[in-house]
Amino acid sequence: MSMINQVGEPLVCLRSRAELEEYRRVIHAQRLSDKPCFAFCAGTGCLALRSDKVIAAFKAEIKKRDLEAKVDVRETGCPGFCEKGPLLTIYPDEICYVQARPEDIPEIITQTIVEKRIVDRLLYSDPVSGKRVINESEIPFYKHQTRMVLGNNSKIDPRNIDDYIALEGYSALAKSLFDMSPEQIIEAVKASGLRGRGGGGFLTGRKWEECRHAPGDIKYVIVNADEGDPGAFMDRALLEGNPHSVLEGLIIGAYAIGAHEGYVYVRQEYPLAVENVNIALKQARDLGLLGKDILGSGFDFDVKVHRGAGAFVSGESSALMTALEGRVGEPRPKYIHTVISGLWNRPSNLNNVETWANVPLIINRGADWFASIGTKGSTGTKIFSLVGKVNNTGLVEVPMGTTLRRIIYDIGGGILKNKKFKAVQTGGPSGGCIPESLIDTLVDFDELTKLGSMMGSGGMIVMDEDTCMVDTARYFLDFLADESCGKCTPCREGIDQMLAILINITEGRGENGDVELLEEIAKVTQNASLCALGQTAANPVLSTIRYFRSEYDAHIEQKQCPAGVCKALFSFYIQPEKCQACLRCLKNCPSGAIVGGKNQIHVIDQEKCIKCGICFDVCPERFGAVVKLSGEPIPPPPPLEARKIRRRNSSA
Ligand SMILES: Cc1cc2nc3c(=O)[nH]c(=O)nc-3n(C[C@H](O)[C@H](O)[C@H](O)COP(=O)(O)O)c2cc1C
Ligand code: FES
């Protein structure tokens, strides 16, 4: 029997630490059974792949076969390997099935529950060796990770507080309230070396201390779940999958700082995170873990959820607080830090979702344990959102100081289609691009900054040999130009000017001196912008100039895009001696730009070509007739009478 009723409300209210421990004991006793637990991922990624239908099929089938009493079914959060979803893990044996479909359910039940065998075809198959892997933790993507913060996502139902409590949840809160003074908590967080996971990497304990000592009776603690970096979803996964870990950290922080009101600022585009956080808040409140006199300690604290309006800049601390006040989310000068004068000019401590989720771990396992993980200046683990041209994409949690090589090759499984690795962009849109020669860099706050990039909130985009680095800089500047709030001139104009120059270069209008001009504008934008959006916006430009200068020169001087990405700088060309007149390019060209016919060499009409690349893609590899030419003139087409193919293979 659960301690939660059918509509998800706890049946008791805990009035002391002893009652919390007794509650935990009862839950443990209820859970002690040898029933297999079928944990289905119900995170946003798997839901998009229709895990809801898989779960519904499972529930219907066990009902039909009268097996409901023999198994537990759990809908969990996202463990990070969404590309293989829908995911199903069966505990205690930790058998992991990937890409499960509703049609697979009868076989899963027959084999796994009734016959106690494994459905081989649903196991993860290693793309290189073809070997099937049974256990989740043995899948290479997970095997090399240290999932301290993310680990419970695949074990608990985020909508059931009992699941969190059963795994020692809220024990750090009880320890903080009853065994530690606010000063001791701050000392522990300081000693752990925890640095903010939202971008700046500021020491969390120091920030808390400043806020605690700031004058004023009313103080606020805030969770930053704006997560505006394109492609990043670590905060979403945590809030959706383990909201209580974030809330527990927040309550501990509030107690240490002396705040009685808190906010979760979460982006509008995260409906499931909003829903799960609201459920978590209600359950925590009902159970006596939030609200008045938490666990009978005399400490009062409650939390409201605020939905952001979807602007990247609103994730910046002062902009976020302005938005919370109900105004347009624009940054303000921070001569006085927000820990002294933030929300409604009161001392306010803002931390990222992942930062808050680390706090219960530090309190429970100790500052020394935490500080022993990672590097001297960057302790603990970090969750990265690994995306781009890599075989395994998803959320990766590793100790700080792990090399880029380990993340990209051992965990990410290497580069897609065995292409050559070119660079990795870290730190979100205003991060920098790190080249292949630095792949053995240890990833931590300071090392990435030294290389002209940054940790940011953990975005990691892998690029292969087909990526143009000038175009990459243009892409990120385009994003930042859109997202700059426009309040300060250096950011608004600086980004626009850099973008205009980059567009010129990628469209073949680059001039000598453009790179130097970019560097000059970058410096002003860095130094004079109001907030870190402008101050870091030049990173994509400066890092690509630093490591890929020859690509800028090729674009400007030879009007050549070496990677063949910038449309204005390359043309598709059909090599007459290789064309077999197979008609594929001609039939597939959407703009009718290919002339030719049966037994006739094909020719691209360059005036009509829209450079979509379909001819390149459909030309059979064994012919390899279509090529990209950049920085050189296109040879004239053969005269009409020379286009006839005599020895052909038109059935190709
Ligand atoms: C343009 C911009 C966007 C930001 N977006 C986020 C965000 O989405 N989430 C986040 O935690 N921090 C974001 N930050 C960093 C915050 O300003 C702030 O440093 C952080 O929330 C503090 O928490 P931490 O110390 O735990 O990292 C952003 C900063 C800038 C300049
Ligand atoms: S949503 Fe299921 S693995 Fe991410």
Query: Which numbered atom of ligand 1 lies nearest the CA of 531?
Result: 31
- Give the residue whose CA is nearest to atom 3 of ligand 2: 82
Alpha-carbon distance of 241 to 65, in angstroms, equals: 30
Rounded-to-integer distance, Cα 475 and Cα 487, Å: 22
Directed axis angle between helix 353-365 and helix 171-179, to 10°? Answer: 70
Tell me what pLDDT residue 116 has.
87
Ligand 1 centre distance from Cα of residue 226 (Å): 8
> Which atom from ligand 1 is nearest to the alpha carbon of 229?
8
Which listed ligand is nearest to 98 at the C-alpha?
Answer: 2
Yes or no: say if 15 and 23 are a contact pair by the CB < 8 Å rule. Answer: no
Ligand 2 centre from 294 Cα, in Å?
33
**Over the stretch 219-235, which tens digit does the pLDDT of each residue have?**
999 999 999 988 899 99
Helix H or strand E encompassing 277: helix 271-286
The answer, yes or no, to whether any atom of ligand 2 lies below 6 A from the CB of 428, is no
Q: Residue holding tokens 């690795």? A: 421
Start-to-end Cα distance in the chain: 66
Measured from the alpha carbon of residue 79, the closest ligand is 2
CA 313 – ligand 1 centroid, Å? 9
Q: Answer yes or no: is the C-beta of 81 below 6 A from any ligand 2 atom.
A: yes
78 lines ligand 2 (CB under 6 A): yes
Residues with CB under 6 A from ligand 1: 196-200, 202, 224, 226-228, 312-313, 315-317, 350-352, 355, 457, 531-533
Q: Atom 2 of ligand 2 has which residue's CA nearest to it? A: 46
Ligand number, closest to the Cα atom of 52: 2
Within the chain, which residues score under 70 in pLDDT? 1-4, 7-8, 646-652
Angle at 231 between CA 229 and CA 232, to 5 degrees: 60
Q: Is the peptide bond before 230 cis (omega within 30 degrees of 0)?
A: no
User: Quick check: CB of 45 below 6 Å from ligand 2?
Assistant: yes
Is the Cβ atom of 85 under 6 angstroms away from ligand 2? yes
Å from CA of 524 to ligand 1 middle: 22
Tell me which of 229, 233, 236, 317 to substitute to probe ligand 1's pocket, judged by most ligand atoms within 8 Å of the beta carbon. 317
CA distance 410 to 412: 6
Give residue 244's Cα distance to chain centre: 20
3-state DSSP assignment of residue 22: helix
Alpha-carbon distance of 70 to 112, in angstroms, equals 12
Q: How far is the CA of 425 from the centre of ligand 1 (A)?
A: 18
Ligand 1 centroid from CA 13, angstroms:
35
Nearest to 643 by CA among 581, 593, 572: 581
Instruction: Kindly give the number of the ligand 2 atom that is closest to the alpha carbon of 79.
Output: 3
Q: Is 154 in the pocket of ligand 2 (CB under 6 A)?
A: no
User: What is the pLDDT, as a whole number, of residue 640?
Assistant: 87
Element (H or E) spanning 409, and its range? none
Tell me, in angstroms, the distance from the centre of ligand 2 to residue 86's CA. Answer: 7
Mutate to test the pocket of ligand 2, among 40, 41, 157 (most ligand atoms within 8 A of CB): 41
Query: How many angstroms is it from 374 CA to the middle of ligand 1?
Result: 22
Residue nearest to atom 22 of ligand 1 (CA): 351
Give the distance (Å) from ligand 1 centre to CA of residue 57: 41
Ligand nearest the Cα atom of residue 394: 2
Residue pair 626/573 in contact (Cβ under 8 Å)? The answer is yes
Q: Which atom of ligand 2 has the smallest separation from the CA of 41?
A: 2
| 300 close to 175: Cβ distance less than 8 angstroms | no
Task: Give the Å distances, CA to CA, from 35 to 71, 72, 105, 328.
Answer: 5, 7, 18, 53
Nearest CA-CA partner of 470 in 501, 431, 512: 501
pLDDT at 648: 46
Nearest CA to ligand 1 atom 19: 200
Of 9, 460, 396, 363, nearest to 237 by C-alpha is 396
**Is the Cβ–Cβ distance between 561 and 630 less than 8 Å?**
yes
Helix or strand or coil: residue 330?
Answer: coil
Q: Are 572 and 613 in contact (CB under 8 A)?
A: yes
Ligand 2 proximity of 77 Cβ (cutoff 6 Å):
no
**What is the spatial distance between Cα 136 and Cα 159, in angstroms, rounded to a whole number?**
23
